[in-house]
Chains A and B, each alone.
Chain A
Amino acid sequence: AQSVAQPEDQVNVAEGNPLTVKCTYSVSGNPYLFWYVQYPNRGLQFLLKYITGDNLVKGSYGFEAEFNKSQTSFHLKKPSALVSDSALYFCAVRARGYSTLTFGKGTMLLVSP
């Protein structure tokens, strides 16, 4: 079985400030972890993924995420938020040997000017 928790329904941050969107996961064995972003009335866009190796993963639009095996977390971060980053963010996990992604419930990020 595999599951993902995004504990925050919404994250508010001022433009220019750093942002963090939290994600924890539960799988048997080592996971593949993904972050996606969904803008209003659009499909999901891939941001970044962790497969193996370096715990800090860099992705699109200046986002990065840190894999922490001991805390089973994969938090999304950005050093300086933009208003245009406002969107719905999904964390997803796939256990090795499992066919599909399991998504978290999503976190709405609101960046104020």
Chain B
Amino acid sequence: DTAVSQTPKYLVTQMGNDKSIKCEQNLGHDTMYWYKQDSKKFLKIMFSYNNKELIINETVPNRFSPKSPDKAHLNLHINSLELGDSAVYFCASSQASENTEAFFGQGTRLTVV
């Protein structure tokens, strides 16, 4: 049973396209996140949702729009893709308590050509 699952695992698309990445967790967690890992493996938080409400929105272009239809799902939609958006995107979830660890999905490798 996969705890945090993302689809697709790989995504290759052309500049200017719009794409979505889906994320689902079956852990019963209240909080979900999107992280971006760049080519140097640096991890940066993009968004944090708690019970379907946006908590954190770091300095991310507004071409990126998260959507949480329920607390088990947090999807990431990206408009007008740019070359610099190429990265690995990780979804994660945790309990709301700040001393709990996050559980990560396997990542989505996005390549914009």
Contact = CB atoms under 8 A, between A and B. Distances in A.
A63 interface: no
B45 A101 contact: yes
A106 to B, nearest CB: 5
A97 B41 contact: no
Contacts of A105: 40-42
Contacts of B105: 43
Contacts of B42: 103, 105-106
Interface in B72-113: 90, 92, 98-99, 101-107
Of the four ranges (under 10, 10 to 19, 20 to 34, 35 or more), the interface on chain B belongs to: 20 to 34
Given A42-B106, A44-B90, A99 B98 contact: yes
A36 B4 CA distance: 16
Contacts of B33: 100
A46 B92 CA distance: 11
A17 interface: no
A44 B4 CA distance: 11
A36 to B, nearest CB: 8
Interface of B: 4, 33, 40-45, 48, 50, 55-56, 90, 92, 98-99, 101-107
Interface of A: 32, 34, 36, 38, 41-46, 49, 51, 88, 90, 94, 96-103, 105-106
